[in-house]
Structure 1
Amino acid sequence: MIIDGPTIASLTARLSEVDERRVARYPGGLGGRQPVHTCYVPASKVGPTTPRDWGEQALAAMDEHGFDLSEDLTGRVKAKLAREPVEDLRIDFEDGYGAPVSEDDDARYAAGCLVRWHAEGIAPFTSGLRIKSFDTPGLRDRGIRTLDIFLETLGDPPPGFVITFPKVTAAEQVEVFAELLAVFEQRLGRPDGSLKFEIQVETTQSIVDSDGRLAIPRFIAAGGPRVTGLHFGTYDYTAACGLGAGQQHLGHHACDFARHVMQVSAAGTGIRLSDGSSNVLPVGETPAVLAAWRVHYGLVRRSLEHGFFQGWDMHPAQLVTRYAAVFGYYRESLAGDARRLAAYATRAESGLLDEPATAQALSASLLRSVDCGAATAEEITQATGLHLDVLRAFYERAIQ
């Protein structure tokens, strides 16, 4: 005998609340463009033309030292450096800032530069600032004051404006910071929830808390919809793990563990991930520059292969290997991904039994390649036979 409807309804009724909680906490991918990097520039070194300067310095380094790329890839990288060298930039008032003469003055000046970049059309796609951490009372007060001055000088934040919240060790810090941003919004007359921030994962307590629980899910809950990203901090984290200086690098397995925790904690939430940086800078004579570029190129590729599609860049010349690695990664997989998606879309025999989740991943990769400039929309449409709107529908699982 088939179970009657009322019996099934009574058994499953209590799952409605579970469904609602899941949808609220795991709405799926954020969609839209994610920058391939975040460039950190000390506030004391920010100027009226910083984004353009980084591109010019990167092109000069590429011309002076060369890099072993195909002609096609070289042309694409140079075009990117001339057109849009910096996709995301964070004005740094924390570790990279040093000992300023007047942080108040630097906050006003840096905010004014950001306004000018937008007025002159050279601003990065997204931008923001990194304030001092909340783990030391004196630094906390200084960071709040700097943010207050910066926001007041800035006026209406530009699209994609975000604040980096570093060295988080407790969910309460995130909760207080979110409440502080609400106070700023009210005082400055800005819409509720308009100020967003990313959490920097660079302490052991941001991975496992004192009770042995994963910490990041509690951070996300404490920050609510204001939290847009999790950014890994390579050197503070590896130092906190007790690694020797020679082992403090992005490729260490200790970093892999932290990144995996970040991934599973953020999966399905719409919160984006960013990997850390390489402190091996491409400066000096050509052999030293080429050696640093090889290190950086390998680390960027490693991040991409681990599902981290954004990372930090600390020096203009790192833009060369950032785009070389990113463009190479997407172009190498473009033809195969396009064939698989086209076969899935037409339900054609392809030797692979792909599912909606795979179609989503294939679409995401192809869309990212267009967003960053590794490929054009026309190339993707020609390769797949599908308009980008169809790819976006696959990514959003609107088409199964």
Structure 2
Amino acid sequence: MKAKGGGAGMTQHETVGTSLPRGVREGITASLAPVDADLARRYPGDSGTRQPVHTVYVPADALTDTTVRDWGDQALAALDAHAPDAGALAAVLDLPGELAEPVYRRVRAKLEREPVEDLRIDFEDGYGQRPDAEEDAAAARAATVVAAAHAAGTAPPYVGIRMKCMEAAVRDRGIRTLDIFLTGLMDSGGLPDGLVLTLPKVTYAEQVSAMVRLCEEFEKARGLPAGRLGFEIQIETTQSILGPDGRATVALMIDAAQGRATGLHYGTFDYSASCGVSAAHQAMDHPVADHAKAVMQVAAAGTGVRLSDGSTNVLPVGPTERVHDAWRLHHRLVRRSLARAYYQGWDMHPGHLPTRYAAVYAFYREGLETAAARLAAYVNRTGGDVMDEPATAKALSGHLLRGLDCGAVDAAEVEQLTGLGRAELDALAGRAPR
């Protein structure tokens, strides 16, 4: 149908013909209302908060009020001893020449300012079985140390405990430790922002449901808002990936958490061992690890539940040649995880911090100009050599935001390259504004 006036286009006042009765559309909308609500509940998207690039695990008995600073100082000492300048570190890790100086400078600054982004005080494998009185005291002391660090402004952005699991042999002990720790925090002024709890060795969704009940009961007992407590689910058993009926059980666990699950953390060594992988071949890049993490990734997509890779147990200690070998391995594994959209991992030793941040910073800096140019072209509709869609623009802005959050890039350089401020990047990434 031609528009009035003989033109080829439609005017804003002209109507088009339709055939379906109005009630059809309304009926379909009504029939899909439950689906709309279910999608909104199950797949709310990313929370928009900062995700740490790593988690540092420290046995509860080794925790002190200087643990974070001690890790930073030891990491700096390792740099001084084994890579005292940008060229030396770039040679070890095969960093491009243009990245050597900015990466090295940022790594040192990070280790001086904020060496640990996420600290987990471990009451599980790293702590072991202790007399009840000893673990009681350690849980109470952990709460005191965390509360004091927050009061002094020296706490890392995220901190919490890994309790014992929900298996029968250690269940009561894990529940008691969690209760003591949370009670100690409440009695010291309240739960801090960035509090993280980790539930390990989950095998059945019912164990996640039990953790939900613990959180609900503590909130009621202390007058906290419903939903205040969340927790990570650690994936370290085959049953958490594939159930006896053939279903992907990790998705059931996310559902059982009722919105309280904040992350899925892959446990390299427990999971590999449960698959029968010999000790010499247990690693983050083993095929059984890749399969488990792919299942985790699909199950978590869109839910707002974040992913964390595991760790390497090869420590950068000893003579320089051995340290360099361990650094190259760790750097390669971290880069591999980042490329596979696992933006967080575990670090088990202070010597891992230099290569953690070197890998993360190089990853975000080497892609900065390309990502910024593509995003600017999308926003300004100026085209370019890649035709991007809204989903890709969302990924591009998310990439830039993660680089900003960890300190790999600066807000000023991102805005100069894209013309976009933080709020605009948040909107493109689908994040709630900060």
- TM-score category (smaller protein): over 0.9
Displacement after TM superposition at 1:247 (Å): 1.4
TM-score, scaled relative to structure 2:
0.89
Partner of 2:279: 245
Counterpart residue number, 2:373: 339
- Determine the C-alpha separation between the residues in 1 that align with 2:37 and 2:373: 37
Q: Which residue of 2 aligns with 1:14?
A: 31
2:322 alignment counterpart? 288
Q: Which residue does 1:47 correspond to in 2?
A: 64
Deviation, 1:99, is 4.3
Instruction: Write the mapping of 1:170-185 to structure 2, written as runs, cut at 5 A.
Output: 170-185=204-219
Is contact 1:49-1:117 (8 Å) kept? no
Whether the 8 Å CA contact 1:356–1:397 is kept in 2: the answer is no
**Aligned counterpart for 1:142 among listed residues 167, 173, 179:** 173
Describe the SS at the equivalent of 1:394.
Answer: helix
1:334-391: per-residue Cα shift (whole Å, max 9, x none)? 0000000000010002021101100100000101111100011001001111112111
CA shift, 1:14, in A, is: 1.5
Matched-pair contact (CA < 8 Å) for 2:371–2:400: yes
Matched, 1:154 2:171: no
Tell me how far apart the structure 2 counterparts of residues 275 and 387 of structure 1 sit (CA, whole Å): 30
CA distance in 1, matches of 2:341, 2:46: 14
- Helix, strand or coil at the partner of 2:197: strand
1:92 aligns with 2:122: yes
Q: Which amino acid aligns with 2:224?
A: R
Contact residue 48 and residue 431 of structure 2 kept, 8 A: no
What is the alpha-carbon root mean square deviation over aligned residues?
1.5
Larger deviation: 283-292 or 369-378?
A: 283-292
Q: Which residue number in structure 2 is paired with residue 105 of structure 1?
A: 137
Q: Secondary structure at 2:304's aligned position in 1?
A: coil
- Deviation of residue 189 (structure 1)? 2.7
The residue aligned with 2:159 is: 127
Which residue does 1:75 correspond to in 2?
105
2:226 and 2:37 map into 1 onto residues whose CA distance is 23
Residues 199-249 of structure 1 deviation map (CA, whole Å, 9 limit, x = unaligned): 001100000111110101111111112111111100000111111112110
Matched, 1:195 2:229: yes
CA deviation vs aligned residue, 1:171-214 (integer Å, no higher than 9, x gap)? 11000111011111222232221111000011000001111101
Aligned-pair identity (%): 54
Q: Deviations over 1:293-337 (max 9, x none)?
A: 111100000000000000111111111100000000000000000
Cross-structure match for 1:117: 149
Q: Is the 8 A contact 1:300 1:322 kept in 2?
A: yes
SS of the residue corresponding to residue 119 of structure 2 reads strand
Counterpart amino acid of 1:151? L
Q: Is the 8 A contact 1:38 1:312 kept in 2?
A: yes
1:169 maps to a residue whose letter is T
Tell me if 1:165 matches 2:207.
Answer: no
Q: Which amino acid is 1:144 matched to?
A: I
Q: Where does structure 2 lack aligned partners over 5 or more consecutive residues?
A: 1-17, 91-99
* Mapped contact 1:117–1:123 kept (Cα < 8 A): yes
Q: In the alignment, which residue of structure 1 is the partner of 2:398?
A: 364
C-alpha contact 1:205 1:215 (8 A) present in aligned 2: yes
SS at match of 1:7: helix
The answer on 1:273 being equivalent to 2:307 is yes
Q: What is the identity, as a one-letter code, of the residue corresponding to 2:110?
A: K
Larger radius of gyration: 2
Matched-pair contact (CA < 8 Å) for 1:360–1:397: no
Counterpart of 1:98, as a letter, is G
Asked if 2 retains the 8 angstrom alpha-carbon contact of 1:132 and 1:166, the reply is yes
CA distance in 1, matches of 2:404, 2:339: 18
